[in-house]
Amino acid sequence: MCGRFVSTSTAAAIASYFGATSSIDSLGQNFNVAPTHDIYGVVADPRGNDTVQAFHWGLIPSWARERKIGASMINARSETITEKPAFRDLARKKRVLIPMDGFYEWKPGSPDGPLNSKGKPLKQPMFIERIDGEPLAVAGLWSTWKDPADPEQRWLRSATVITTKANHDMSVVHHRMPVLVPPTRWQEWLDPGNADIESLSDLFTARNDNILRLCAVSTNVNSVRNNTPDLTTPLSG
């Protein structure tokens, strides 16, 4: 899965990197992005122009009665996005790239290692980023929603991160990982005129291309209240 990540770029910097435009205010640096936070996403308009938009992390289907459903839709499994009612139409026409500096995952602890307050092996948080320091372009889906109980409310954009079976490097930490889209496929993924999700399905197989670095980091990241640059600092030793 993907439940926390890092986003420190400005909207303008993201637009420049993806060859897009942006007219939104920057969201500010966030070293511990969590579900329900606002995040950046790159989408294509009907004319094929890429733009940077802000999204609520946790997809809220247009037919949802309440906003809180989004908290359970932060991730979408690539294996079932064409089947689930909340995702199948979006997979054909509302795809997004979610830029990340890197993401966090928790490695299972050893039975003979440190224990948590419940007496269970303490999980080790890991920070995963590109070796070359470039942003990750993560595949996602997006939707718009308006509270049926408040017709005057503005439309809310929301998004979910698509996950897949972990590649070899990630499998030592977790059995799932975000779908990473290489630059050569960005336009194909975003193209609103391409409703053939099967033509993109090869992206859902995580490649073993050795572009990721996995580093153990402080357990301070466990609390969403902590949001400082040192959260991504590798532990010594």
Catalytic residue list contains 215: no
Q: What is the number of other CB atoms lying within 10 angstroms of the CB of residue 76?
A: 23
| 3-class secondary-structure state, position 139 | strand
DSSP percent split of the chain into helix, strand, coil, nearest 5: 20, 35, 45
| 3-class secondary-structure state, position 163 | strand
Q: Which of 112, 110, 106, 111 is nearest to 124 (CA)?
A: 106
Helices (H), the chain: 11-18, 88-93, 168-171, 186-190
Which residue in the list 2, 129, 188, 198 is annotated as catalytic?
2
Residue 109 and residue 124 in contact, taking contact as beta carbons nearer than 8 Å: yes
Please give the DSSP secondary-structure letter assigned to residue 37.
Answer: S
Q: How many CA atoms lie within 13 A of 73 on its CB side?
A: 23
Annotated catalytic sites, by residue?
A: 2, 105
